[in-house]
Amino acid sequence: MLNVYNILETIRMIQDECLDIRTTTMGISLLDCIDTDIHKACDKVYEKIVTRAERLVPVGEQIEKEYGIPIINKRISVTPIAMLAAACPGQDPVEFAKTLQRAADTCGVNFIGGYSALVHKGFSSGDEALIRSIPEALAVTNNICSSVNIGSTKSGINMDAVKLMGQIVKETAERTADRDCIGAAKLVVFCNAVEDNPFMAGAFHGPGEPDCEIHVGVSGPGVVRSALTKYPDASINELADIIKKTAFKITRMGQLVGARASELLGVPFGIVDLSLAPTPAIGDSVAHILEEMGLEMCGTHGTTACLAMLNDAVKKGGVMASSTVGGLSGAFIPVSEDAGMIDAAVAGVLSLEKLEAMTAVCSVGLDMIVVPGDITPETISAIIADEAAIGMVNTKTTAVRLIPAIGKKEGETLEFGGLLGSGPVMPIRQQSAAKFINRGGRIPAPMHSLKN
Amino acid sequence: MRAVVTVIGKDNVGILHKVSGICADMGANVIEVTQSVLQDMFAMIMLVDITGMEKDFSEMVDRMTELGEKLGLSIHTMHEDIFNSMHTI
């Protein structure tokens, strides 16, 4: 039965602690839009997206009103476009990006993700052309996100793709240098990419997914921090219990919204992604949760242990609250999108190396990190390779979203605004890894990939 | 189907009257009211039945929010499912 305490707790979470549904993301398969004529394929893509997602935004708004819970983003993920581009050799895949942008404008969604290629074992027809078109595609569109999977635990790491992605990340930043290098903020390089991720910029609709489905990504770092504040002297396992209970409540809300959206849209419910996704808003920071646990500042010694506990407790609490958990599910640590991380990076306490260690125990990876504009493509590739190795060996998703700040040096800042926030240019090592990167080939899959 | 209306803010004359007026107007039946005034802070939680409502629930949400803004109160109108799902297993 309803009681006053519970009602007020829910309202406080939403009103004062930034609890929200971060995204409802509709996954749409475009496999039936493949055509050897790129113009015909684009027409089919546009038609399918606007038909399927026609009611996505109004339904989201209706649910916001019904439950009084903000839904920050309404998004779409589509089949990796490289699969469509494969059928149109010699034709410019950027046409697909422009078509997706038109569809995004028509549907009124914040982003469409899926200008993607899966090349963890090698390039198939269409993959390389698509990857090489990413800088142009992200420069001529505003709401399109791109991702490339370059490794997996099962197949190892495709080092030719790693080398290429170093160049592509740099070029993407250069092409949008007049807009704070925003292109690179919409490009993710994955190892062990998941096929049902609702979060941008890495969302795409995997080929094993149904024709159309709806995913929900929840958020609520502020709620977790606030719950911990009430127990300043609790032991670590007591803190873990508090986080579990809080994650349960947050995830239940995601489950409710997903089920309702599925009912109203008439499409199957995909997954709830149990993530703690920060925003630059005050009180919505993952770093502040770690500091609440007892760190003077995020990034200092002990950060990895605190994050490991947080990430595990969020999953344990969330998993019982939802019938279908999926996506990335864990705590995110995007530097520019988290007020506490920004402060720690500016103070020089949070380093790239510490962030790398943190990615071994939490969701995703080196996310929204601004690096000096004169970084070489080989160094970007080497950072990608390091991060992919962590993902491959630990059988987890890792990703790299670096933003080379063209024309800027260490100590300066890039301002993206909105949910993307702002980030200080972080120092990198100056010694070259070019010889390693230029070798090419593939890092073989680890021993524990042989499970059959 | 039921909804929960919560009103929090500075006490003044006729809050309950105005909130329940909107409910009546929309065809939502008030089932239960809990209210308290501590010093000059007013807090009310109202449970209403929205099954027989002739108008759209979102219209009621809009009208309540509008009233809240007019009176300088924080008024939330939410479907009961959100509380049930968050706080019960």
Same domain, A298 and A232: yes
Mean pLDDT, rounded, for A145-171: 97
> Is B79–A6 a contact, with Cβ atoms under 8 angstroms apart?
no
pLDDT digits (tens, 9 = 90+) for A199-208: 999 999 999 9
Domain harbouring A375, CATH code: 3.20.70.20
Work out the pLDDT band at A452, boundaries 50, 70, 90. Answer: confident
pLDDT digits (tens, 9 = 90+) for A332-368: 999 999 999 999 999 999 999 999 999 999 988 999 9
B66–chain A Cβ distance below 8 A for any pair = no
**Which pLDDT value is given to residue A398?**
96
Q: Domain for residue A6, yes or no?
A: no
Phi-psi region of A89 (alpha: psi -120 to 50; beta: other; left: phi over 0): beta
Q: Domain for residue A451, yes or no?
A: no
> Nearest Cα to A117, choosing from A88, A142, A85?
A85
Work out the pLDDT band at A1, boundaries 50, 70, 90. Answer: low
Q: Which of residues 14-43 of B touch A (CB under 8 A)?
A: 34
**Mean predicted lDDT score pLDDT of chain A:** 94
Q: Domain for residue A197, yes or no?
A: no
Same domain, A115 and A240: no
Work out the pLDDT band at A408, boundaries 50, 70, 90. Answer: very high
Same domain, A173 and A240: no
- Is pLDDT of B56 > 70? yes
Residue B62's H or E segment, with its range, is helix B57-71
**Which pLDDT value is given to residue A417?**
83
**Which pLDDT value is given to residue A25?**
95
Answer with the residue of higher pLDDT: B15 or A162: A162
Same domain, A78 and A180: yes
Mean pLDDT, rounded, for A413-439: 93
Same domain, A142 and A255: no
Domain count, chain A: 2
**Which pLDDT value is given to residue A280?**
87
**Which pLDDT value is given to residue A30?**
97
Q: Domain for residue A47, yes or no?
A: yes
Q: Which domain holds residue A110?
A: 25-191
CA of B13 vs chain A CAs: smallest distance (Å): 23
Same domain, A187 and A237: no
pLDDT digits (tens, 9 = 90+) for A257-295: 999 999 999 999 999 998 888 988 888 899 999 999 999
Using beta carbons and an 8 Å cutoff, which residues of A are at the interface with B? 2, 4, 6-11, 15, 62, 65-69, 249, 252-253, 255-256, 320
Same domain, A131 and A232: no
Neighbouring residues of A447: CB distance < 8 A, sequence distance ≥ 6: none
> Is A66–B78 a contact, with Cβ atoms under 8 angstroms apart?
yes
Specify the 3-state DSSP secondary structure of B32: strand
Same domain, A282 and A398: yes
What is the model's pTM? 0.92
C-beta separation of A399 from A365 below 8 A? yes
Same domain, A249 and A397: yes
Chain B positions in Cβ-Cβ contact with residue A322 (cut-off 8 Å): none
**Structure ipTM:** 0.87
Work out the pLDDT band at A329, boundaries 50, 70, 90. Answer: confident
Q: Domain for residue A200, yes or no?
A: no
Mean pLDDT, rounded, for A30-39: 96
Same domain, A228 and A359: yes
> Is B83–A10 a contact, with Cβ atoms under 8 angstroms apart?
yes
Two structure tokens written together for A259: 């089920």
Q: Domain for residue A137, yes or no?
A: yes
Same domain, A170 and A55: yes
Q: Domain for residue A348, yes or no?
A: yes
Mean pLDDT, rounded, for A441-452: 93
pLDDT digits (tens, 9 = 90+) for A377-390: 999 999 999 999 99
Q: Domain for residue A429, yes or no?
A: yes
Closest residue of chain A to B46, computed from CA coordinates: A4
Same domain, A187 and A302: no
> Is B82–A67 a contact, with Cβ atoms under 8 angstroms apart?
yes
> Is A69–B76 a contact, with Cβ atoms under 8 angstroms apart?
no
- From A4, A62, A252, residue closest to B85, measured CB to CB: A252
**Which pLDDT value is given to residue A18?**
81
